[in-house]
Amino acid sequence: MKTIEDLGDLRGKRVLVRSDFNVPLDGTTITDDGRIRAALPTLQALLGAGARVVVTAHLGRPKGEGFEEKYSLAPVAARLSELLGQPVALAKDLVGPSAQETVAALADGEIALLENVRFDARETSKDEAQRSALADELAALADAYVSDGFGVVHRKQASVYDVALKLPHAVGKLVLNEVSSLRKATDDPERPYVVVLGGSKVSDKLGVISNLLGKADRLVIGGGMLFTFLAAQGHTVGASLLEADQIDTVKGYLEQAAASGVEIVLPVDIRVGDTFAADTSVAVVAADSIPDGKIGLDIGPESEALFASKIADAKTVVWNGPAGVFEFEAFAGGTKAVAQALIDAGAAGGFSIVGGGDSAAAVRILGFDEAKFGHISTGGGASLEFLEGKTLPGIAVLED
């Protein structure tokens, strides 16, 4: 893949950058600006080179029928301006008159942000001709294209895939760092290689589990998905989240792991509540005897110690998905224990990867120092598909 440096002299050139600014909002207040901060190295490099930077990005899931106030990138433009220390012009549309005027007004070393690319239904269309038409309009605003939104590179979308076919293109610093970091877990990883999986549904992780059973030394299972594993072992799980239609698949995974020498680590105790609520009563029960009516919401204290011991010697450790409902203080212990275990493994010489999505959010929300992890991915779904060994369209299109 070509890098920004391979694009040559960029002074005076219009460079279209696809970033991922899909940040969480409370009204118009950004509650986690991690994805914006992750984009800064690429944007600063381009601005420093004298480029006229035009950024396109998405936020949320608008209907694709035009402007929707709650999905406007205005809060992102304001925060990006603060972080860059210079004005960020926000176009009122994506490729219309405002976008054209805003881009035309840029001077060398200035930056503009186009409105939410998903306000245009062609961005995510399955119709290649529709995507290509939008990509033509985006390409008309630029002289070169830089892909820097790792959270969307697993999607064949107009601003991710099609526009790269129409302009000289390069990989941004964020995406390059993501790919090189994740390859440490896929291309001959240092061992022991430990993968910690959590999150609510085992069905979301089927592909990565299947792929990792042939690569990882140890799979540590937490989150809501653990209850399907417990059920596959013949245990009752009370009122906990259960994907009954996946029990047979998980049984197959357990058998495959046993046959291939891959250790699957499950909790030995569970923190349960009566309801899915922050103020529910909390009890700790054995993982193989969850009472009827009780909801498992986190791993228990013995499991925290067990998980930490199984991560401690890892030379490569990947974590994707919280161990419990960390948003509720009473059920954040498991996720905190996993995060600390990754930090400790890193301090002992291992390389840790936090696989984006809720895990990355948990690191920040729970107050951990991001610098103590080897790599924190900005793309949950993209990082999972990378670990599955899938071809990511937004990466493949950059490989000349």
CA atoms of 192 and 220, how far apart (whole Å)? 13
> Does residue 224 sit in the same domain as residue 345?
yes
Residues 358 and 369: beta-carbon distance below 8 Å: no
Domain boundary among 158, 177, 196: 177
- Listed in sequence order, the residues at least 6 apart from 245 whose beta carbon sits closer than 8 Å to its beta carbon are none
> Does residue 284 sit in the same domain as residue 362?
yes
> Does residue 76 sit in the same domain as residue 46?
yes
CA atoms of 341 and 298, how far apart (whole Å)? 16
Residues 108 and 52: beta-carbon distance below 8 Å: yes
> Does residue 49 sit in the same domain as residue 111?
yes
What is the pLDDT, as a whole number, of residue 200?
87
> Does residue 370 sit in the same domain as residue 222?
yes
What is the pLDDT, as a whole number, of residue 357?
78
| Ramachandran sector of residue 8 (left: φ over 0; alpha: ψ -120 to 50; beta: rest) | left
Backbone angles phi, psi at 101, to 5 degrees: -70, -40
Look at residues 303, 299, 306, 305 and name the one whose alpha carbon lies nearest to residue 326: 299
Q: Has residue 151 been placed in a domain?
A: yes
> Does residue 197 sit in the same domain as residue 268?
yes
> Does residue 34 sit in the same domain as residue 156?
yes
Q: Has residue 367 been placed in a domain?
A: yes
> Does residue 164 sit in the same domain as residue 197?
no
Q: Has residue 394 been placed in a domain?
A: no
> Does residue 340 sit in the same domain as residue 369?
yes
Whether residue 126 lies in the annotated active site: no
Global pTM? 0.89
What is the pLDDT, as a whole number, of residue 388?
84
Q: Has residue 183 been placed in a domain?
A: no
Question: What CATH code is carried by the domain that includes residue 49?
Answer: 3.40.50.1260
Among candidate residues 13, 14, 18, 35, the one labeled active-site is 35
> Does residue 352 sit in the same domain as residue 247?
yes
What is the pLDDT, as a whole number, of residue 99?
98
Q: Has residue 364 been placed in a domain?
A: yes
> Does residue 219 sit in the same domain as residue 345?
yes
Q: Has residue 398 been placed in a domain?
A: no
Question: Could you give the number of structural domains in the chain?
Answer: 2
Among candidate residues 357, 374, 379, 380, the one labeled active-site is 357
**22 in a known ligand binding site:** yes
Whether residue 166 lies in the annotated active site: no
> Does residue 244 sit in the same domain as residue 345?
yes
Domain range for 340 is 188-388
What is the pLDDT, as a whole number, of residue 175?
97
Whether residue 35 lies in the annotated active site: yes
Among candidate residues 166, 201, 315, 364, the one labeled active-site is 201
Q: Has residue 124 been placed in a domain?
A: yes
For the chain (400 residues), the mean pLDDT of every run of 10, in chain order, is 97 98 94 93 98 98 95 98 98 98 98 98 98 98 98 97 98 96 92 94 87 92 96 97 96 95 97 97 97 98 98 97 96 98 97 89 93 92 88 94
**350 in a known ligand binding site:** no
